[in-house]
Amino acid sequence: MADIYLTKKGHQKLLEELEYLKTTKRRQLSKAIGEARAHGDISENAEYDAAKDAQGMNEKRIAELEQKLGSARILDDNISTDEVLIGARVKLKDLDTGEELEYTLVAQEEANYEENKISIDSPIGSALLNHKLKESVEIKIPAGTLKYRILKISRE
């Protein structure tokens, strides 16, 4: 698996999720399986099957997180602000509407649209990479073409 670049916050968030899944969630699922098993014949017990499926999904997510964290590289806070790189907070001006937007470019594992964190693998994120301050960027998306000017590049 290739290296995954994470911010310190993103790395911490994945560690916390892993800890939760390995402790609290595992106990909850084990208890649910025990309760369902107590209801009798497990061969026709939908509650038992659902609990076992949830347990399998939990273990799968634990394995994914362990693999990601094992190949994670923590981004240095001292990365240049001369160009847009992963971990950068970018202030943009939409050249069509005049609206100003701000995004932080992160790995897919940290992407969260509600927090304005977009993946470097997304159309907008990948198009912004390696551009410099004051440059204009045209980004082709399914709905058309976005035109932005980079107003500011900073770090969180």
Per-residue pLDDT of the chain (156 residues; tens, 9 = 90+): 567 888 888 889 899 999 999 999 999 999 999 888 888 777 778 888 899 999 999 999 999 999 988 888 887 766 777 889 888 899 999 999 999 999 999 988 889 989 999 999 999 999 999 999 999 999 988 888 999 999 999 886
Q: Does the global pTM surpass 0.85?
A: no
pLDDT of residue 6: 83
Q: Which two tokens stand for residue 34?
A: 């025990």
Mutual orientation of helices 46-70 and 26-37 as an angle, nearest 10°?
160
CA distance 78 to 52: 46
CB of 77 within 8 A of CB of 62?
no
| Rg of the chain in Å (alpha carbons) | 21
Tell me the H-state helices in the chain.
Answer: 8-20, 26-37, 46-70, 123-128
